Amino acid sequence: MKKDEKGITVSKEENFSEWYTQLIQKAELIEYSSVSGCLVLRPYAYELWERIQDYLDKELKKKGVKNAYFPLFIPERLLKKEKEHVEGFNPEVAWVTHTGTTKLKERLAIRPTSETIIYESYKKWIRSHRDLPLLINQWCNVVRWEFKDAIPFIRTREFLWQEGHTVFASEKESISFNREIISIYKKIFEELLSIPVLTGRKSEKEKFAGADFTESVEALMPNGKAVQGATSHGLGTHFSKAFEITYLDKNEKEQYAWQNSWGFTTRSIGMVIMVHSDDKGLVLPPLLAPIQIRIIPIFVSKKEENIMKEAREIKKQLSKYRIDIDERKEYSPGWKFNEVELKGIPLRIEIGPKDIEKKQVILVRRDTLKKEAVKRANLKEEIEKTLLSIQKDLFERAKKILETQTVEVKDKLSFLKAIQNKKIVKAQWCATLKCEEKIKEETEGAKSLNAPFDQKRIKGKCAFCTEEAKQVMYFGKSY
């Protein structure tokens, strides 16, 4: 029997890539554009981003961060001011060279990241220690002309993000704020998106170009690949020296400022889809879902008016939630149920003539597809309890998978076997570039993810090369 083409026609477990490709299109999240690697975010996907924006924006404002906006175009001379930075980004930069048929006197980079264009302004704004700290963020798009295969949301040539750029009088303040940002990112992933993450510091090889260090949150996808969810970079004084961002301290001595940059992107949407969704469609955490509850009236001739009246009463009673009623009569109840599942709406309420007689509704959870009859008198309390349960259960399920798929190893053979079995490896490591490159070569692509913050005193040898260990590090295949 031919499967309904509106639904997913492959299984997540058997063909993860095709399952993901079908889901993001059939759930009306994206449309492919005529520009390779650039996507159309449809309204349903953009609503997810708006909810993430709203949550993160409030958290940042609690820290005193202000929003601003800086130009999309960056003159080549600015991009070249910090040597490591430009070398790190140069292969991915898209350039504007002409206006019409006229060649520009200076090439303009289309924003791959905004350090250089922003710090040109910071040089003018910062004069005294009284001007610090300077805490600014912008919401914008960036373009990175990557040559790897595009994976919608996860790796595209253009994406949306926030990028924060903060300036401090001391290294201590700068490092402290860097960690605060990572804590906020962890909170978003775990409390809003129900995705457990590993937090820690990136290796020297994997850090941001031009930074002293990079700290990150990393998550595990069901296919065994890790995704870097967000990053916060300690820039030290590299950029302040390149851009002459100085201030007069309390003793009237000129000092270079200490800086951070940090970002969270639409990649997070892809991570939610991959981690929680199933063969029927999206599964969305209730706090994130654009629609939390959909009421589906079961129409029966001559009783439509009573059913709709009851549905509207329920919507009014539950007005504090994002709730709607599917009033369409041209589709069957079964078709509507399938659409709710495809769209990942956390709860659906079914109501028909018999339910009205029994003074009840049928409540269906999207995550488990469990159905139960709930008395109308208890509906409000049951809805609140169930939505909280879905949010928590999604996180706990993902956390259990992360824990069981993370393996601590002591030797090279165990290391290689774990990577082959699509695990995240936790191991003592020598922290050398030579060893890191050897790991990537012998595992066919695994790399360091991050080193946990809570490092205990290290004794013994590197699990991979047997040189003296310097730290514990997470490793895995990643997007």
Please say whether the beta carbons of 209 and 410 come within 8 A: no
348 and 459 fall within a common domain: no
Task: Collect all residues with Cβ–Cβ distance below 8 Å to 131 and sequence separation of at least 6.
Answer: 125, 247
Mean pLDDT along residues 160-180: 98
C-alpha to C-alpha distance for 60 and 66, rounded to whole angstroms: 8
325 and 447 fall within a common domain: no
- Residue 2 banded pLDDT, cuts 50, 70, 90: very low
The fraction of the chain above a pLDDT of 70, given in percent, is 99
pLDDT tens, residue by residue, 93-141: 999 999 999 999 999 999 999 999 999 999 999 999 999 999 999 999 9
258 and 371 fall within a common domain: no
Above 70 in pLDDT, residue 16?
yes
Residue 307 is part of a domain; what is its CATH number? 3.40.50.800
- What single-letter DSSP state applies at residue 190? I
133 and 191 fall within a common domain: yes
In this prediction, residue 48 carries a pLDDT of 98
C-alpha to C-alpha distance for 374 and 312, rounded to whole angstroms: 17
Residue-range definition of the domain harbouring residue 247: 16-276
In this prediction, residue 79 carries a pLDDT of 87
Please identify which residue in the block is written with the tokens 């001379």.
77
363 and 438 fall within a common domain: no
In this prediction, residue 5 carries a pLDDT of 58
SS3 25: helix
Q: How many domains does the chain have?
A: 3
In a domain, 72, yes or no: yes
425 and 368 fall within a common domain: no
C-alpha to C-alpha distance for 188 and 162, rounded to whole angstroms: 14
Helix (H) or strand (E) holding 86: helix 83-89
pTM here is 0.95
In a domain, 4, yes or no: no
C-alpha to C-alpha distance for 333 and 322, rounded to whole angstroms: 21
**Mean pLDDT, the chain, whole residue set:** 95
- Residue 196 banded pLDDT, cuts 50, 70, 90: very high
Within 10 angstroms of residue 375's Cβ, the number of other Cβ atoms is 11
In a domain, 101, yes or no: yes
171 and 132 fall within a common domain: yes
382 and 453 fall within a common domain: no
C-alpha to C-alpha distance for 11 and 23, rounded to whole angstroms: 11
Q: What would the two tokens of residue 170 be?
A: 């001391």
Please say whether the beta carbons of 291 and 323 come within 8 A: yes
109 and 60 fall within a common domain: yes
165 and 237 fall within a common domain: yes
SS3 395: helix
Please say whether the beta carbons of 308 and 326 come within 8 A: no
Mean pLDDT along residues 428-455: 96
SS3 167: strand
C-alpha to C-alpha distance for 469 and 138, rounded to whole angstroms: 40
Helix segments in 190-303, DSSP class H: 238-243, 267-276
Q: What would the two tokens of residue 236 be?
A: 């030290």
Residue 444 is part of a domain; what is its CATH number? 3.30.110.30
113 and 248 fall within a common domain: yes
| Integer angstrom CA distances of residue 327 from 311, 324, 341, 361 | 10, 9, 17, 17
